[in-house]
Structure 1
Amino acid sequence: MRSFEEIIKSKNKGSLKIILGYAAGVGKTFSMLSEAQNLKKRGFDIVIGYVEPHNRADTTSLLEGLEKIPLKSFQIANQIFHEMDVEEVIQRKPEIVLVDELAHTNINGSRNEKRYLDVLEILDSGINVISTLNIQHLESIADRVSAATKVRILERIPDKVLQVAHQIIMIDISMEDLRERLRSGKIYEKSKIDSALTNFFSYDNLTFLREICLREAAGNLFQKMQESIQDKNKFNAEEAVMIALSSDPTNAPNLIRKGTKMAARLSSRVFVVYVQKKAEDSVHIDSQLQRKIQKNFDLAVRLGAEVVILQGEKISDTLVNFAIENKVYHAVFGKSRLSPIKERIRGSIILEFIHDAVGVDVHIVNVE
């Protein structure tokens, strides 16, 4: 695998490196600053856009000698908040900028709502970025993490941000070492340690998070290797994934997440397609269901999908035509709530699609 230094030298647009961790305290910021010091010694023009040292002495010491872009101040009521100054970073135009905590939500009044949007803007200007991220902030798995850990994940980023990254490195330490860091006060203040050890930093939760993080990092590495081997050939570039969405599916968010995750693995375009019958237009459908449908569309957009609303009374035919016209090679459906007997009586959209959509792989997802 090429080093980040080699990647930088081979590209015109800014390159993104993400240092990924399975929990707070694994050493993401320390690793980012250590690499920055090494790159600086080798002659790279590198600056700090935003770094959160968390009041850790070993991390703070690595800030020495690195140029810091002054933060932008915002006053809300009687409080002062500080955010990265995107305009100043772009105007300074270093070779590399360090941007900690990629999933951070910026304060109201900032140039962009989320820090990852700041990073995408910096990349577009030709500046390379090294950033950090904890795995639970990925939109596609945040709900699973919340369910497993009983902790709400409020800050989230679309999975497509990982696809933008040219390199993802996982910082992995043993769970016992991580818990020892917590006990010694290197992660949270003393008043929060006992609660954290019992709850989020329990062995069960850390095992779950670490396994997810390892799979995500390995999957991304495999994807980058495939892209390198195939040089992003035209077939892969054109191949698309279609997620078929009804007006009231059993669990639309899970269906969308699984479909977009498949597309990410294939480096493919992904469509969320909703075929609207006349009886389901805005005049006939109730407002509560309309809001539910729109919420599903909003999630799809956040995960990088293109939402397509089609009109038609024959849903299967409409989906088949769309698949043919848009080079869809994978169609994702949720498992029907109807019993096999009722499906035979009423007819099955999925079976009709399988029969007519020759050459399309159909994936039926159990989203209960």
Structure 2
Amino acid sequence: MVEKRLTPNEALEKVKIEGRGHLKIFIGYAPGVGKTYSMLNEANRMLSKNEDVILGFLETHGRRETEEQIKKLIILPRKKLNYNGKILEDFNLEEALKLHPHTILVDELPHTNVPGCKNKKRYEDIEELLNAGINVVTTLNIQHLESLNDVVEKITGVKIRETVPDRIIESADEVEVIDISPDALRTRLTQGDVYKPDVAIRALRNFFRKGNLNALRELTLRQTAEEVDVDLEEYKKKHGITETWHTCERIMVCISANPSCKKLIRQGARRAKTYKCRWFVVYVQCTHFMAPQIDPESLKMLNENIQLARTLGAEIIKLTGKSVSNELVNFAASKYITQIIIGHPNRSRLQIIIRGSTVYKLLKQVSEAEIHIIPQ
């Protein structure tokens, strides 16, 4: 087999990817869950194996257990900048690039750099380190992810000013969730392990309310689960794995212009809510010459069904083909669907004799998903 010759641009992109550093992110749902502590723990393990690792930037916030973890780590001197007559300190990107360690720890990924630094944001510093072939370990709280900014504000009432583009976490080689229960975190605050006592008291009444923490915790676990799901899907495609692995539920609701499809859509929404999973509402525009033509009244009903599905949070999918069943089977396989919801057949006896039953064909062809046939 002759290997396809890469174009100059493709070759350059391949070199960039292969020469790029490894990015690991410790992510948590709130300050104080132990992200920085875990990052330092990992660095100390690397140091014990004589690996070239340095501490690029770290804020201990006066936490004794964090300070103790620094141990024998080599600390990169901070960059000093004069801003409005004051000397401020920040991460020294230029020195880090010059030293070019195998791995560098850079705390607080969403940080906004002191004016006068090369880059405005710390994640831009980290991208430079990665492009230079340096491995980076960093930390992030879920509320700083750009796509979740509005959601977090609604939950906590706090507008997060420092955000990180989603592409940073999407491109990370490793994302490790550091998780403790909200009760345990609130206890840590009460004991003064996170903030000074006066700050901790205010925090417990505001951002660190138990309801807030529960919501942020669920948001973190769901977000990272989605990232894992994408990685798993890419792995399966790369290795030609077609069977469905039931690592998480994915629901497909099959609809038409039938008004009773609203019942199927609502059931799909309930199941998706129970499993906290993605769900698709799928309809097929059939091009078979025997397929009935859709009239204005039917089109209106189909649009009503689609609007209901959209309101309930489904992903709407329109397929086109001569065989409704084939299109549904192929889509279910491509998205690793685990549950299919469909109504009883509404074809006439003559249509079933000539063209068969979509439900029967699904039962015969789909082996990797549960099929729920709902009376209409």
TM-score, with structure 1 as normaliser: 0.60
Which residue of 1 is the match for residue 57 of structure 2? 50
Q: Which amino acid aligns with 1:124?
A: N
**After superposition, where does 1:36-115 map in structure 2 within 5 Å?**
36-115=43-122
**After superposition, where does 1:344-363 map in structure 2 within 5 Å?**
none
Offset from partner CA, 1:170-217 (integer Å, 9 cap, x none): 000011110011011111122122221111111110011000000111
Alignment of 1:131 onto 2:114:
no
Alignment of 1:200 onto 2:236:
no
Supply the distance in 1 between the matched residues of 2:78 and 2:229 (Cα, whole angstroms). Answer: 37
Which residue of 2 is the match for residue 7 of structure 1? none
Supply the distance in 1 between the matched residues of 2:164 and 2:175 (Cα, whole angstroms). Answer: 15
Offset from partner CA, 1:283-338 (integer Å, 9 cap, x none): xxxxxxxxxxxxxxxxxxxxxxxxxxxxxxxxxxxxxxxxxxxxxxxxxxxxxxxx
Q: Which amino acid aligns with 1:140?
A: S
> Of 104, 122, 127, which aligns to 2:129?
122
Which residue of 2 is the match for residue 214 of structure 1? 221
Alignment of 1:164 onto 2:176:
no
- Shift of residue 231, structure 1, vs aligned partner: 3.0
> Of 179, 191, 194, which aligns to 1:184?
191
Give the stretch that moved more between structures: 123-132 or 85-94. 85-94
Change (3 A) 1:213 1:232: farther
> Of 24, 27, 30, which aligns to 2:34?
27
Supply the distance in 1 between the matched residues of 2:19 and 2:239 (Cα, whole angstroms). Answer: 18
Q: How many pairs are equivalent?
A: 237
- Asked whether the equivalents of residues 21 and 132 of structure 2 are also in contact (C-alpha less than 8 Å), the reply is yes
Q: Which amino acid aligns with 2:129?
A: I
Alignment of 1:148 onto 2:148:
no
Which residue of 2 is the match for residue 301 of structure 1? none
- Asked whether the equivalents of residues 19 and 131 of structure 2 are also in contact (C-alpha less than 8 Å), the reply is no
- Shift of residue 50, structure 1, vs aligned partner: 0.6
Which residue of 2 is the match for residue 331 of structure 1? none
Greater C-alpha Rg: 2
Supply the distance in 1 between the matched residues of 2:24 and 2:238 (Cα, whole angstroms). Answer: 20
Alignment of 1:15 onto 2:22:
yes
**Runs of 4+ deviating beyond 3 Å:** 353-356
Supply the distance in 2 between the matched residues of 1:232 and 1:165 (Cα, whole angstroms). Answer: 21
Offset from partner CA, 1:247-303 (integer Å, 9 cap, x none): xxxxxxxxxxxxxxxxxxx9xxxxxxxxxxxxxxxxxxxxxxxxxxxxxxxxxxxxx
Q: Which amino acid aligns with 2:205?
A: T
Supply the distance in 1 between the matched residues of 2:62 and 2:191 (Cα, whole angstroms). Answer: 13
Supply the distance in 1 between the matched residues of 2:238 and 2:33 (Cα, whole angstroms). Answer: 34
Supply the distance in 2 between the matched residues of 1:78 and 1:51 (Cα, whole angstroms). Answer: 24
Supply the distance in 2 between the matched residues of 1:219 and 1:153 (Cα, whole angstroms). Answer: 22
3-state SS of 1:156 partner? coil
- Shift of residue 38, structure 1, vs aligned partner: 0.2
Which residue of 2 is the match for residue 256 of structure 1? none
Supply the distance in 2 between the matched residues of 1:32 and 1:11 (Cα, whole angstroms). Answer: 25
Supply the distance in 2 between the matched residues of 1:232 and 1:33 (Cα, whole angstroms). Answer: 35
- Shift of residue 91, structure 1, vs aligned partner: 0.9
- Shift of residue 11, structure 1, vs aligned partner: 5.5
Supply the distance in 2 between the matched residues of 1:229 and 1:83 (Cα, whole angstroms). Answer: 42
3-state SS of 2:192 partner? coil
C-alpha RMSD of matched pairs (Å): 2.8
Which residue of 2 is the match for residue 289 of structure 1? none
Supply the distance in 2 between the matched residues of 1:200 and 1:44 (Cα, whole angstroms). Answer: 39
Which residue of 2 is the match for residue 228 of structure 1? 235
Which residue of 2 is the match for residue 242 of structure 1? none
Supply the distance in 2 between the matched residues of 1:12 and 1:42 (Cα, whole angstroms). Answer: 23
Supply the distance in 2 between the matched residues of 1:47 and 1:226 (Cα, whole angstroms). Answer: 35
3-state SS of 2:70 partner? coil
TM-score, with structure 2 as normaliser: 0.59
Q: Which amino acid aligns with 1:18?
A: I
Structure 2, unpaired ranges of 5+: 1-16, 241-277, 279-302, 305-316, 321-326, 332-376
- Shift of residue 232, structure 1, vs aligned partner: 8.8
Change (3 A) 1:95 1:354: same
Change (3 A) 1:354 1:174: closer
Supply the distance in 1 between the matched residues of 2:238 and 2:43 (Cα, whole angstroms). Answer: 30
- Shift of residue 109, structure 1, vs aligned partner: 1.3
Structure 1, unpaired ranges of 5+: 1-9, 234-265, 267-338, 341-352, 362-368
